[in-house]
Amino acid sequence: MKKFLSILLLMSLLFTMFASVGHAAGTPPKLFLNGKELHSDVEPKIVNGSTLVPLAILSEGLGYEVEWEPETKKVTVKNEMTVIELVINQSSVRVNGVVMETDAKPQLMNWRTMVPVRLVGELLGLSFEWKEAAREVHMFEKSTEPDPETPVVGYITAVTMDEQSVIRIAHAGASAPGKPMVLDNPRRLVFNFPYTTFIPQIADQFVGGQTETLVADNPLLTAYRYSQFSTQPLTARLVIVVGNDTGYVVTSGDNEISIALMPKAEVPTEPAEPEMPVDPKPTPPPVENPEVYDIVLDAGHGAKDPGAYSKPLNKWEKEFNLSAVLKVKAELEKDPRFKVHLTRKDDTFVELLDRVKFAESVKADIFISIHANSYDNTSVSGVETYYERANSKPLADIIHKHVLAGMGLRDRGVKKAAFKVIKETTMPAILIEAGYLTNTTDANALFNAKTQDKLAVEIVKGIKTYLKLK
């Protein structure tokens, strides 16, 4: 983590320092690391104004391990603290799980991975010196030990909002904001992130010192904006213009802070008793083998609430959710040990609180809510599984593996979020986001009948594994 933070601290410097190097023309520059010239069978190249250098000689010189996957054209560079994933001809780079967009793309030349020198600097945490006369790039490893008197700076890498009115702040090392200030005329929620700034790609896009996004046809909010509120002390700020009846829930996960907006009536109440910690070797709640397990399947959205939209297929999330739930129901009912209860059986609208009450009324052993996701960036894809309460984490971990096997999509992990249906229920409860409707590959899989059949089979396998049934 220390090395990763040092990488981010260098980003602002590198974007300005290496503008001239990236656009140099003529003979490719020589490369030096800690005063020693680096040699390779592939010389640095200048392509479209950017200087590309062989990744291998730099990573090996720094003691990183390099893995190459020829099928996906992905290269992974890692050590004990940092994992960097790059794909040839793609501008997205993943660093310790954080996705960053770059100005130039890695390329394959003579079967060597070539990356822009600015990108190398950002990811490997180097300081640079450009010697114009000699056309030399001198790179130096910097100390990874922070000054104990200086607070560690966090970086915000992206701010987005999904179709569920959840504003997500992707970050590296940022602290969760405290309780927001509430201002009126118009009503605004003001969140401050201490010792936090924005990566240059975001800050460079500020207009008038901020970025503002207007939101139409949403009763919960009309706009949100973010800015560098202060440099002394360093403070990032997010302002959300909300309705008078809007409530919120803030949750923190790995490299992400989520602010879920919802009607005040739907804001989850805190449990009367503190949660028990997760058993490091959890066992399912049933200690005996009862005759029947009650399983509640929740098809998200419905009727006037269609959920996310799949532009590639011109379909709505509610359609997938119900189809998938009905297939899981059919698969479960092949085993007489399961009794299946559905929160909705057709295209009807059911309030979130009514879904919770229904699960409680049937004394369910397991609650599973099925959804599909969306995102502004259509390249984002994969499966996510959410839990909120400690007694739901073992179920989420098991079912997630089976959903991945059923969908055959990218693994986006098991995450914690305060969705009402999985927070206010008392039985183990999870919410599955089976794929991204905004991604063509994911959408085709979500609405493929054979894939849905396989997903249903895998979810039932996961339920049986969790309950230790043969």
CA distance 320 to 421: 19
pLDDT value at residue 86: 79
299 three-state secondary structure: strand
* 387, 414 contact by CB (below 8 A): yes
List, in sequence order, every beta strand (DSSP E) within 118-203: 126-131, 136-141, 154-161, 166-172, 181-183, 188-194, 196-198
pLDDT value at residue 104: 67
pLDDT per position in the chain (470 positions), as tens?
333 333 443 333 333 333 334 344 456 677 777 788 877 767 777 776 667 777 766 666 566 677 778 888 887 777 655 677 778 888 777 776 666 666 667 888 777 777 766 665 656 666 667 777 887 777 776 554 444 455 667 889 899 998 888 999 998 888 888 888 888 889 999 999 988 889 888 888 899 889 999 999 899 999 999 999 887 778 899 999 999 999 998 888 778 899 999 998 888 765 444 455 555 555 555 544 457 999 999 999 998 888 888 888 999 999 999 999 999 999 999 999 999 999 999 999 999 999 999 999 999 999 999 999 988 788 889 999 999 999 999 999 999 999 999 999 999 999 988 889 999 999 999 999 999 999 999 999 999 999 999 999 999 999 999 999 98
pLDDT value at residue 200: 83
Label residue 466 exposed, middle or buried (CB < 10 Å: 0-12, 13-18, 19+). buried
Structure tokens at 225: 């904006």
Domains of the chain, with CATH numbers?
Answer: 2-141 (3.30.457.10), 154-264 (2.60.40.3500), 293-467 (3.40.630.40)
Q: How many residues does the chain have?
A: 470
pLDDT value at residue 101: 66
Spell 332-369 as b/e; 16+ CB within 10 A means b: beeeeebbbbbbbeeeeebebeebbebbeeeebbbbbb
pLDDT value at residue 278: 53
* 104, 48 contact by CB (below 8 A): yes
pLDDT value at residue 16: 34
CA distance 198 to 347: 43
pLDDT value at residue 372: 95
284 three-state secondary structure: coil
* 420, 251 contact by CB (below 8 A): no
Label residue 327 exposed, middle or buried (CB < 10 Å: 0-12, 13-18, 19+). buried
CA distance 269 to 266: 9
pLDDT value at residue 106: 80
pLDDT value at residue 343: 96
